[in-house]
Chains A and B, each alone.
Chain A
Amino acid sequence: MKELTLELALRMLEAAERWARDVAGFPCSIAVVDRSGALIAVHRMDGAAMATTDIAIEKAYTAVAWGMPTMLGSRWLDPRNVGQHIGDHALGMIGRGKGRLCLIPGGIPVTNEEGEIIGGIGCSGIPAGLGSINDTAVSQAGIVSLFED
């Protein structure tokens, strides 16, 4: 895989939507961006709140911009880290990148077989606090679909 095409993006979205609907049971928005962070496709499932669309796009963008899952950035924001280098670093990220960097879990970079980042996927809309049912898991379902069959 050299790059993400619209066709691959739609395959990821279908799989992620299926997981959100059938396993998580919550509607959400899911976005796929290319390796420059530019949007390829976004779907807002029926019933998902309006804000989820832009947040999903921002999560996917941030995953590519950082080259790592947005979950890590949000972990750094832990209040126990404030005052330490890692926590202050995360606080300083807020509002950076023209306000597009999102420090909420749910965005994951998409890597190919060689480990190169070819894009990102982000999900928003699954309520927090449900353990393994979360935005990141929806995004993961999308990534898994790329490597099936």
Chain B
Amino acid sequence: MKMELGLSVAKAMLKKAVEEARRLGKAFSIAIVDDRGWLVALHRMDGAPPPTAEIARDKAWTAASFRMPTAEVGSRYGDPKQPGFGLTPHDWNDRLTTLPGGIPVEVNGSVIGAVGVAGGTPEEDLRICRAALEGLSLKP
């Protein structure tokens, strides 16, 4: 049966992500969405600028909807030689973003949701994303 990304899973992922962020010594916003791109949980750490919350949510939404990391959406659909070129951030609820920092959550070959992170450099955001994925195994 396909695993569901419910609130308990999301909390475990957020816990891991926040721990990693504290190790980095920076404040991030972290959003977890389910396989439909619907927000399950979002935490904005103390000191993270308010807009990062919406940006993190947009990244998670994009990664879940396209079933691929947000950075790949850019390289795939942002290339004039590729079909779909011309996607703009205004497509789909203003949520579409090609900023790096959103990755799908894949379990047993199927995408059950996505995590989006904002607040640091692209590398730092992705590092927090990967830390969140570690939380999957901690699921109660």
Contacts and interface: CB of A to CB of B under 8 A. Distances in A.
Interface in A31-66: 34, 36, 38-46, 50, 53
Contacts of B44: 6, 38-41
Contact of B39 (A6, A34, A36, A53): A53
Contacts of A40: 43-44
Contacts of B11: 43
A89 to B, nearest CB: 29
Interface in B15-63: 18, 36, 38-46, 50, 53
Nearest to B43: A41
Contact of A38 (B36, B43, B53): B53
A5 interface: yes
B122 interface: no
Chain A, interface residues (CB within 8 Å), range: 10 to 19
Nearest to B4: A46
A45 B7 contact: yes
A46 B50 CA distance: 26
Given A38-B53, A39-B53, A50-B36, A44 B46 contact: no
B7 A53 contact: no
Contacts, number: 45
A39 B46 contact: no
A46 B6 contact: yes
A41 B38 contact: no
Interface of A is mostly: mixed
Nearest to A3: B46
B50 A36 contact: yes
B42 A46 contact: no
A36 B43 CA distance: 16
Interface in A120-149: none
A39 B10 CA distance: 17
Contact of B41 (A38, A43, A50): A43
B9 to A, nearest CB: 10
Given A41-B43, A43-B11, 16 more contacts: A6-B44, A17-B7, A38-B44, A39-B42, A39-B44, A39-B50, A39-B53, A40-B44, A42-B42, A43-B40, A44-B40, A44-B41, A46-B6, A46-B7, A46-B8, A50-B36
30 contacts: A6-B18, A6-B43, A10-B43, A17-B7, A34-B50, A38-B44, A38-B50, A38-B53, A39-B44, A39-B53, A40-B43, A40-B44, A41-B41, A41-B42, A41-B44, A42-B42, A43-B7, A43-B11, A43-B40, A44-B7, A44-B38, A44-B40, A44-B41, A45-B7, A46-B4, A46-B6, A46-B7, A46-B8, A50-B38, A53-B38
